[in-house]
Homo-oligomer: A and B are copies of this chain.
Amino acid sequence: MDTPSYEKKITPRATDYSEWYLDIINVAELADYAPVKGCMIIKPYGYALWERVQEVLNIEFKKKGVQNAYFPLLIPEKLLKREKDHVEGFAPEVFMVTHAGGEKLEEPLVVRPTSETIMYEVFSTWIHSYRDLPLLINQWANVLRYEKKTKPFLRTSEFLWQEGHTVHKSIEEADDFARQMLAVYEKFFREYMAIPVVMGTKSESEKFAGAHSTYTCEAMMQDGKALQISTSHNLGDNFARAFNISFTDENNQPAFPFQTSWGLSTRSIGGLIMSHSDDKGLVLPPQMASIQVVIVPIFNTENKEEILNFAEGLKNTLIENDIKVSVDSRDLRPGDKYFTWEKKGVPLRIEVGPKDIANNQVVCARRDTGEKSFVKIEELTSSVKSLLENIQKDLYDRALERRIQKTKSVDSYDEFKFAIEEGNFVLAHIDGTAETEKLIKEETGATIRCIPFDTEEDTGICIKTGKASSRRVLFAKAY
């Protein structure tokens, strides 16, 4: 639509990682800048990724008994103020509606930064008895949080997300559900986005405003920085008390229920872009790609019709086998076409020219490795399927291998500073106080990403204060 993608340049990662990221978004036509500061336009090719997220997660949520609903965008300011920690966390970043229909509103309305407050006000009228529990609700929506420094997908003043909100009889059940939903995210990142994540618990200073505890999926980007790519909160009964949600239990006694909330946003698309792409453009895992295979017919004016017909035949065969295929029939040189689809990250390219047809074969080229292979027409479907599976698996394995290589366990503050500066995930002991955490952040730029679920008890001493510590936590610089 704008400048043809093959004329656009990509800054190499080694030169400027941040520019590279913006260039990838530009050349792959994923997003565009908006006339409103800090907001973005999600272009069709980028929006298709979000639609895929929705498609997959809706199925997973349904398996857990979660139902979709929709709550209003605008929240009366007084509701936001109901839970003390929550309003402190969100007040500095809300957009306020003060006028409507040409008149000043009696009470300002907040554009939702998240929907705990408006949902829980309503849940208090829906929940009466233990029979009404658990209540399992999800919403797909736009939310707004005012941001001064923004970057497409990773941090924008408006973003799209899903927010799940559940209500349970006991804190054990709520905690279990919050962890189950985190596991749903982990599986989604692993099987679809090919992103290995570290699951763990947030420190007190990093947890969600108003939560009892926050669980997180942290992913390592290619520059070694962490991206918090989804979170799930055990809210305890904090909000139930603030919003007066109560129920009559099996013994006919009044009780406060326990809640969870959990979300995944368009930020995950930023993580997807940064995880696999290279200096030639976007690289998409087959499970996320809206075009998994592009067929590039190689023709001249004489044989154009014949070759295009053949390519369409291949396309139909693959579509019948649930593979997402496109034929690039434009009147361009093959090299220019390769360039287009390389930038757009299509996992597999099939080249087909007159010689290939004569030999009853096509050439398959992997986007991730560049590797080419001849495939016999009669084996097309099975070969393409297995190539796509291999690409999916290899992308995950490479990302995991990178994370393993770039995760260091250190025992001194000097080692720590060096490892952080080098761009690593760092496992280290800390005394568990917010003060020490703050000091380390100020001095090194690293934050506690999480206390990983899979680390074992391992007594040691804090790298900063020398005080006792019972477990290593994961530090990194983060997006």
Contact = CB atoms under 8 A, between A and B. Distances in A.
A158 interface: yes
A36 to B, nearest CB: 5
Interface string A1-42: 110000000000000000000000000000010111001111
B1 A135 contact: yes
A96 interface: yes
Query: Copy number in this complex?
Result: 2
A51 interface: yes
Nearest to A133: B1
A469 to B, nearest CB: 37
A117 to B, nearest CB: 9
A32 to B, nearest CB: 6
A395 interface: no
A82 to B, nearest CB: 11
A418 B39 CA distance: 54
A59 to B, nearest CB: 13
B160 A1 contact: no
A100 B109 contact: no
Given A2-B128, A97-B95, A101-B93, A76 B118 contact: no
Nearest to A266: B70
Given A44-B137, A100-B96, A35 B68 contact: no
A427 B42 CA distance: 45
Given A40-B72, A44-B67, A74-B144, 5 more contacts: A32-B125, A96-B100, A97-B111, A101-B148, A142-B142
5 contacts: A41-B71, A47-B67, A47-B70, A95-B109, A142-B142
